[in-house]
Structure 1
Amino acid sequence: MKIVFLFLFSFICSQVVQAQKTGVLFAESEMKRFPEAWQLDHGKRLYFGYAQGVGCTAMLLAWKETGDRKYLDYVEQWADTIINEKGEIHLYKQETYNLDYINPGKILFDLYKETGKAKYKLAMDLLMKQLNNHPRTLEGVYWHKLIYPHQIWLDGLYMADPFMAQYAVTFDQPALINDVVNQFLVTAKRTYDFKTGLYYHAFDESRKERWADKVTGHSPNFWGRSIGWWFMALVDVLDFVPENHPQRPEIIKIIQGLGDTLPKYQDTNGLWYQVMDKPTYKGNYHEASVSSMFMYGYAKAVKMGYLNKKYLRIAEKAYEGIMKDLIVKNADGTLTLTKCCAVSGLGGRPYRDGSVGYYVNERIRDNDSKATGPFIMGCFYLGK
């Protein structure tokens, strides 16, 4: 018995160390293939994009975990280039009321603290001005974009609300926390499916979209990455919701519900499908971003005490599956993450109907930051 215990202990410890090493190697791989941060997610122009924000958030975690300032410098070079001395952001247009613009603003808190550059505070104020005026549903949740009126997307909770919560704490605006918490609780109510325990990608308050159920308003399927955004948003926002907030336990309860539900859809190889509850649908596949996001969500939720330590095994299985089935080691020593869904959404032109066939036929590519960023962060949280 003692020998078995020691073997298991040494195995777990070695896996923790290996996950940390993988996180470092993958961060360095991203920097090598994308020498400037605007190139993350295969960027073609200098842009304040949400996917670059995800990648740079991962780089800032790499800096904090390793102490190596090259990761901080990588992020700061991008921000310094894209934000002028007045705090104006290159190509940013507030009047589009697009929540995706908010996500890269998360990196500015660390940059402002480290550099003291006033322009980063001005840029955060600019983004907060958008949120102060951003259109909402009747229940107080932000529309995903002005071009998607009356719609809540799970993606949007990750894009905007942790930023607003951190702004509230950093700049002493506690009333904003109540707003944030309400948005999470309303979103949970409007997108949760009691039969599966999963969350629908989106909800249309008007019920006018072709993809929206005319009774419930929700979209028709469970897209893995949208639930990944949701899981990450939940574990991230609690960094800023005070311990004594009366509704904090309700957010933790949502996390615990996900903790119990998601393993039911985890395949034997540790991965999750692009459309989570349709594993046998032709063309459905084990997708990198959902598997990485859930790995991160579980690892952080356990680390922060929202989930019991037994749930760490779910994250470990995901890590093992990603390493075995989705990671390729290149001749130059870098790592590639394969089977990343490039993009998915609803409505627009051409019209995206939210069908299973739509989701499984969207473009697949390697090294998409919506997957690589969460993978790096998940590795570091597994290593904590």
Structure 2
Amino acid sequence: MNFINHKLKVLAFVALGSGVFLSCAQSKNAIASKSAKETSQAGKVVPTNLKWSERMMLSEMQRFPEAWMLDFSKSPKWTYPSAIVLDGAEKLYAKTGKKEYYDYISGFGKELIKEDGTILTYDLDKYNIDMLNSGNVLLYLYEKEKKDKYLKALQTLRLQIEGQPRTNEGSFWHKKIYPYQVWLDGLYMGMPFYTHYTKDFVKGAEAQKAYDDIILQFDSVQKNLLDKKTGLLYHAWDESKEQAWANKETGLSPNFWGRAMGWYGMAMVDVLDYLPENHPGRARLISYIKSYADAIIKVQDKKSGLWYQVLDKPLANGNYEEATASAMFVYTMIKSVNKGYLPKSYKTAAKKGYDGIIKNLITVDENGVVNLNKCCAVAGLGGKPYRDGSYEYYVNEQIRSNDGKGTGPFILASLEFEK
């Protein structure tokens, strides 16, 4: 009997020992695999195991440690591209809760808005519609922090809308120095801010009047800038037909610039975030998105999935697949699919464009920092030196990497695909 008991005890001990050995081995394996993972990320400023949205956002924060630097600014100035990247930071903060994203946005407000509500470098009298876009950052910060200085700055920007000069039909001029000119860019620069501000601060009949005015901006653009043959929209329209770039009969600029169309698409999908569900103009705006998406899919490169700097002339000398427009088109389409503005079938074109960006336009440095290449730095019309809107003008503007007008929409598009 004693012998049997002893044998049972020995077996139990061996079993227990092998269990201990097994669990030790397992925990050693877990530690080893964790340390291998950490080693693979060692020396990486931006971890490569994150989603593209975060990888690009962290890369931007690495390149531009302060948010006011986002447009390659050497000193703090009130400009529009920062706001697009910071829109991505807001959504990433909401998704991940990582405070570094919030601090980055908050730093922009701290630096650009003085305690009395004055906006650094901003001049109301210029009536430049570009200057409204960064108001979106202040709407966010005021909602979060309720600081009086943000409210005052917001009221100043809203004052600009009151005084912004208009065409006879009621379309906003792009800037006071560009009389009678409506640019597609201006719809993105002004309308999401105008709609969001109205939703947050305006009530009753005044709100209704503002929403009607916002829809009028899109109706007017569809009427005056749309090319019925292709469904594309021209970069700009001069009501006075006096500009050298303007067609003497139609007042239209001569080319379909990729980013101008990109701005317009983003304007529509972002305005719908704040336009009341029951507003009669809502269905019209969604119908504009549908015809817009059909038109851009027709000029999407079949092989790469990307779009060209001048949309309808892919084979012309000097034209190139351009990053900012491609990112904007992808964002507009995938967000429209996710929101139900476009049928799910449009996701195919959006995904082809998104994959094309990653394959052809993204490079990753050894330290994990992500770059977006082949961004058109800037393009406009008129001014000094005079920009004539010719094909040659658009393809010869500066090309650079990591322009916020491309990285911002890429982050936003990535977030839509990651949903």
Question: What's the CA shift for 1:95?
Answer: 0.3
Alpha-carbon shift at residue 371 of structure 1 (Å): 0.4
1:231 aligns with 2:265: yes
1:67 shift after superposition: 2.1
Q: Are 1:92 and 2:122 counterparts?
A: yes
2:238 aligned residue: 204
The partner residue of 1:51 within 77, 81, 86 is 81
Does structure 1 residue 67 correspond to structure 2 residue 87?
no
Which is greater in Rg? 2
2:382 partner letter: G
Deviations 1:285-319 (A, max 9, x none): 00000000011001110111100011111111111
Find 2:369's aligned residue among 317, 331, 334.
Answer: 334
Distance change >3 Å, CA 20–CA 279, structure 1 → 2? farther
Partner amino acid for 1:329? V
Paired AA for residue 139 in structure 1: E
Q: Partners of 1:260 and 1:78 in 2: how far apart? A: 37
Aligned partner of 1:377 in structure 2 is: 412
**RCO comparison, higher one (Cα < 8 Å, 6+):** 1
Question: Which residue number corresponds to residue 305 of structure 1?
Answer: 340
Match of 1:220 in 2: 254
What per-residue deviation string (whole Å, max 9, x for no partner) do you get for residues 41-74 of structure 1?
2111101110112221221122122222211110
Which moved further from structure 2: 148-157 or 256-265? 256-265
Q: Whole-Å Cα distance in 2 between the matches of residues 50 and 20 of structure 1? A: 28
Between the aligned partners of 1:188 and 1:204, the Cα distance in structure 2 is: 14
CA RMSD between the two structures: 1.2
Secondary structure of residue in 2 paired with 1:41:
coil
- Give the secondary structure class of the aligned counterpart of 1:152: strand
Give the paired residue count: 367
Q: 1:337, 1:212 → 2: CA distance? A: 33
Match of 1:108 among 113, 138, 161: 138
Residue 189 of structure 1, aligned match among 223, 239, 242: 223
**Normalising to structure 2: TM-score of the pair?**
0.86
Structure 2 stretches of 5 or more lacking a match?
1-47
Deviation at 1:20, TM superposition (A): 7.6
Q: Which residue is equivalent to 2:401?
A: 366
Determine the C-alpha separation between the residues in 2 that align with 1:261 and 1:137: 27
What aligned pairs does 1:1-384 form with structure 2 within 5 A after superposition? 21-173=51-203, 174=207, 175-267=209-301, 268-384=303-419
Q: Which moved more, 1:314-323 or 1:362-371?
A: 314-323
Give the ranges of 4+ consecutive aligned residues of structure 1 lying more than 4 Å apart after TM superposition.
none
Q: Deviations over 1:242-283 (max 9, x none)?
A: 111112111110001012121111112110000000001111
Instruction: For structure 1, list consecutive stretches of 5 or more residues without a partner in the other structure.
Output: 1-17
Contact 1:190 1:203 in 2 (8 A): yes
Q: Given residue 193 of structure 1, which amino acid in structure 2 is its aligned partner? A: D
What residue number does 2:40 align with? none
Q: d(CA) in 2 for partners of 1:67 and 1:146?
A: 41
CA 1:353 to 1:329, structure 2 compared with 1: closer, same or farther past 3 Å?
same
Contact residue 20 and residue 379 of structure 1 kept, 8 A: no
Give CA-to-partner distance per residue, 1:143-168, whole Å, 9 cap, x none. 00011110000000000111011111
How far apart in 1 are the matches of 2:73 and 2:275?
A: 33
Q: Aligned partners of 1:69 and 1:104: how far apart in 2?
A: 21
- What amino acid is the match of 1:301? S
Q: For residues 380 and 30 of structure 1, what CA distance do their matches in structure 2 show?
A: 16
TM-score (norm 1): 0.94
Equivalence for 1:11: none
Q: Percent identity?
A: 48
Q: In 2, distance between residues paired with 1:243 and 1:19?
A: 39
Counterpart of 1:355, as a letter, is S
CA distance in 2, matches of 1:383, 1:20: 11
Secondary structure of the residue aligned to 1:274 is: coil
1:60-103 superposed Cα distances (whole Å, 9 cap, x missing partner): 12212222221111011111111012211011100011011100
Quick one: distance in 2 between partners of 1:381 and 1:148? 36
Q: Distance in 2 between matches of 1:369 and 1:191?
A: 26
- Provide the C-alpha distance between the structure 1 equivalents of 2:140 and 2:120, rounded to a whole number of angstroms: 20
CA–CA distance in structure 1, aligned partners of residues 247 and 272 of structure 2: 31
Could you list the per-position Cα deviations for residues 197-255 of structure 1 after superposition, in whole angstroms to 9, with x for gaps in the alignment?
Answer: 10000000000001111111110000000000000000000111111111211111000
- Aligned-residue offset at 1:19: 11
For 2:117 and 2:352, how far apart are their aligned partners in 1?
43
- Is the contact made by 1:20 and 1:383 (CA closer than 8 Å) also made in structure 2? no
